Amino acid sequence: MGLSATALLDQIAALPPLRKQAKQRLVAQARQHPDDSMLMKLPVGSMRVAQLLALVGTPQRFRTKR
């Protein structure tokens, strides 16, 4: 294998721990949000709640409930 292929394989091997750390940080950040406790009552899990909070931010930014 060439030098660049080895470097790419090293980068790929380093991804799973980084991904796990990013998920943990996202969930920790979401837990600081005031609406987290209400959304955690939904059967979607903490990661989905964190993603939802990251996408929506504040519900007040929408004009209607729809």
Instruction: Work out the burial of residue 52: count CB atoms within 10 Å of its CB; fewer than 13 is exposed, 13-18 middle, 19 or more buried.
Output: middle
pLDDT of residue 1: 63
What's the chain's average pLDDT? Answer: 87
Task: Give the residue with greater pLDDT, 19 vs 1.
Answer: 19
**CA–CA gap between residue 8 and residue 22 (Å, rounded):** 20
| pLDDT tens string 18-29 | 999 999 999 999
What is the CB neighbour count within 10 angstroms for residue 27?
Answer: 17
| pLDDT tens string 24-58 | 999 999 999 888 888 889 899 899 999 988 888 77
The ranges assigned to domains in the chain are 21-66
pLDDT of residue 34: 87
Q: 3-state class of 65 per DSSP?
A: coil
